[in-house]
Structure 1
Amino acid sequence: MISGPEIESLLERAHALGGYLDVAKRSERVQALNEKRLLPDYWDDAEAAQANERAIASENEWLQAYKIVREHAEDVSVLIELSEEESEDLGEEIEASCNALQRLIESLELRSMLSGEDDHRNAILTINPGAGGTESQDWAEMLLRMYTRYAERQGFKVSILGHQAGEVAGIKSASLSVQGEFAYGYLKAESGVHRLVRISPFDSNSRRHTSFASVFVYPEIDETIEIDLRAADIELQTFRSGGKGGQNVNKLDTGVRLIWTGALSNGEEVRVAAECTEERSQLQNRERAMTMLKSRVYRLEQAIQEEEKNKREAQKKRIDFGSQIRSYVFQPYTMVNDHRTELKITDVQSVMDGDLHAFIKAYLLQ
């Protein structure tokens, strides 16, 4: 049973959240943005008007989320008053309301950590197995399932952009589009190398094997971000696709791979590729592949800016997407260990079923 001091602390947290989120200033900003809508030439500059509409929607979403927290806090206060005035035993109702309030507060507190320039965007997530053949390919497919389950838990829309099956089991590569508010902000915590330790189902001697797979997450760009890639620098490759193509599957070259060769802002020459196989036509696959290609180049440019910023600020901590971030041990004991935050969870199955909230929260709060 939740105690009186715990309830008081929870209500204080709910109240303090209004100041932390700067609700008053957000309300003033919404009012100012709404006043722009009244201008007769508001839609003359469609791009500026759309940016204004997005800003209004974003601020209103924060205000609505805080309003829900405040209303739940008021409900808890009312239940406590009724319990005291009428001597009713409302302990179960009070505890249930407090638990709901705590979940809302924690969710909003976590979301408030997502203040990066691209945190609000959709995400593109790619998975590639490390060396080890079938073992690593099977592990990569397990990760694909894990992230699909996580996205579904969060209410995100998930679609496969590209998928290459392994010869025996698992996958050689996969790309996912994860669409939803702050999808990139949450999933960016997952970029890095993931390590699996288990008794191999592919080893007739039942020996313990270690497998690796890399996960890379980057924001999906939209029309608000300009990435100028010269057509002359992009190589188009087409191939037979195993996607949705219906009668066209394995008959027409509907799969598309785009390869851009060029220099980044720091002068580094790079070769970036993106492919899509899941749409019904070559044109649709080409459009999706171009979005993926631009998103990857954009993320590379971001990494350059972040590295320069870290150098300027003399930060010891560097962003390194190639580092091992988490180990998943199935045998001889069960443990998922995040090496960045030192968070350890023994319920491996729940993690593999997409329960990544604790890991993502620990990463964002560190």
Structure 2
Amino acid sequence: MPKLKNKIEQLEGKTIQPGFWDDRKTAETIVEELSALKETVSFWEEFQKNLEKEREKLHFISEWEKEIGNEEPEKVGQMIEDINNRSRQFEKELNAKEIETFLNGPHDSFSATLQISSGAGGTDAADWAYMLLRMYMHFAQGKNWKVKLLHEHKAEEAGIKNAIIEISGKYAYGFLRFESGVHRLVRISPFDAAKRRHTSFAMVEVLPVLTEDLSKKIVIREEDIEVDTFRSSGPGGQNVNRRETAVRITHKPSKIVVECQAERLQGDNKRRALELLAAKLVARDEEVKREEMLRLRGEKVSTSWGNQIRSYVLHPYQMVKDHRTGAEEHNINAVLNGDLDIFIEAEINQFGGK
């Protein structure tokens, strides 16, 4: 800790030097490093403070138990259980901090955009896509990240055809990037009167939210894109806006299509859509480079786009299994409510350092 604090003092000294911002690129790098160091010091100081509080509580319980003997076993048991719960929370926080050391990709510290699309399976697939949307929103909220719905196309009977959310928080992209792929659900369909078992699919795509400077570096020529405008849609594709404020952009060379209807003005939706397109192009190039590196190492390569990565089985048994890492969890309700740590930590441990 003293070394980190000394480093912070050195960097703060540089920021107040005359002409610090003359070399903007170097200045921004120093400011980013300073911010990261301050965040690390703040985390460990808070962690040590909370740990000391729990030690004091444990000491108090031990002394109190000596005085009262076995008079109030339930109260003592509850206090010990509370401390055990906090210990488990401390362990989670430490694991998350350790995982961050693997997040060394060029965009891992960025916020993230998630696009979820229903696949084969009709109404069940649309409902499954909505369940995934809810799962990721709960996961993000559990990390104290901010979530904003950028686009939602509701299905006629239930669920969604597709949706896009922006998750704002440090390392959001790094934590979620390996969630891209096809997610499979097996359950007794609530929409089938005969109560038969159905298999549904939904696609998840994770993109970095690029900084303004990085977005400007991605060259998107006007002649390479086709821009369509349409009215914002509600349930079943119903038009709910009288003006064509929603924007769809097709990038002709890559065949990538993006759309946005979150903003009130068409110009703002176009800007958002172009940012999404730039992020998709960056993520695609990053994935190509990663796969080429794996090939050179002689490792098996399977593209994340369209690859089935995880199964969620509700019937005839209950289990969530990741097909890449082998991670399993039988508490499926916890997973669907956003408890994804076991899967995300396994992904980052397996793929993050590559």
| TM-score category of the 2 structures, normalised to the smaller one | 0.7 to 0.9
Give how far 1:28 is off. Answer: 5.1
CA contact (8 A) 2:210 2:279 kept: yes
Cα 1:79–1:240 change in 2 (3 A) is closer
Cα 1:321–1:29 change in 2 (3 A) is farther
**Residue matched to 1:233:** 224
In structure 2, C-alpha distance between the alignment counterparts of 1:136 and 1:94, rounded to whole Å: 42
2:20 maps to a residue whose letter is Y
In structure 2, C-alpha distance between the alignment counterparts of 1:146 and 1:134, rounded to whole Å: 18
**Residue matched to 1:130:** 119
**Residue matched to 2:73:** none
Q: TM-score, normalised by structure 1?
A: 0.81
Give how far 1:256 is off. Answer: 0.5
**Residue matched to 1:359:** 343
Question: Which of 139, 142, 164 lines up with 2:131 in the alignment?
Answer: 142
Cα 1:135–1:80 change in 2 (3 A) is closer
Structure 2 residue 145 is matched with structure 1 residue 156: yes
- The within-5 A match list for 1:18-37 is 24=3, 26-27=4-5, 29-37=7-15
**Residue matched to 1:199:** 188
In structure 2, C-alpha distance between the alignment counterparts of 1:292 and 1:119, rounded to whole Å: 17
Give how far 1:212 is off. Answer: 0.8
Cα 1:29–1:317 change in 2 (3 A) is farther
**Residue matched to 1:50:** 28
In structure 2, C-alpha distance between the alignment counterparts of 1:86 and 1:174, rounded to whole Å: 54
Question: Which of 81, 98, 101 lines up with 1:112 in the alignment?
Answer: 101
Question: Which of 161, 164, 188 lines up with 1:172 in the alignment?
Answer: 161
Question: Which of 276, 283, 288 lines up with 1:299 in the alignment?
Answer: 283
Unaligned runs of 5+ in 1: 1-17, 263-269
Give how far 1:271 is off. Answer: 1.5
Give how far 1:44 is off. Answer: 3.1
SS at match of 2:156: coil
1:40 maps to a residue whose letter is P
Cα 1:29–1:315 change in 2 (3 A) is farther
Cα 1:95–1:143 change in 2 (3 A) is closer
CA contact (8 A) 2:295 2:301 kept: no
1:70 maps to a residue whose letter is Q
Give how far 1:79 is off. Answer: 6.8
CA contact (8 A) 1:82 1:88 kept: no
- The within-5 A match list for 1:263-274 is 270-274=254-258
CA contact (8 A) 1:242 1:278 kept: no
Cα 1:96–1:354 change in 2 (3 A) is closer
2:28 maps to a residue whose letter is Q
SS at match of 1:172: strand
2:109 maps to a residue whose letter is H
Question: Which of 154, 162, 175 lines up with 1:186 in the alignment?
Answer: 175
Instruction: Give per-residue Cα distances to partners, 1:145-178, cap 9 Å, x unaligned.
Output: 1111211222111112221122322221111111
2:184 maps to a residue whose letter is R
Cα 1:271–1:74 change in 2 (3 A) is same
Unaligned runs of 5+ in 2: 68-75
Cα 1:82–1:157 change in 2 (3 A) is closer
State how many pairs are aligned. Answer: 333
CA contact (8 A) 1:336 1:345 kept: yes
Cα 1:97–1:236 change in 2 (3 A) is closer
**Residue matched to 1:69:** 47
Give how far 1:38 is off. Answer: 2.6
Give how far 1:242 is off. Answer: 3.3
**Residue matched to 1:4:** none
2:193 maps to a residue whose letter is S
Cα 1:141–1:360 change in 2 (3 A) is same
Over the matched positions of the two proteins, sequence identity in percent amounts to 37
Structure 2 residue 270 is matched with structure 1 residue 282: no
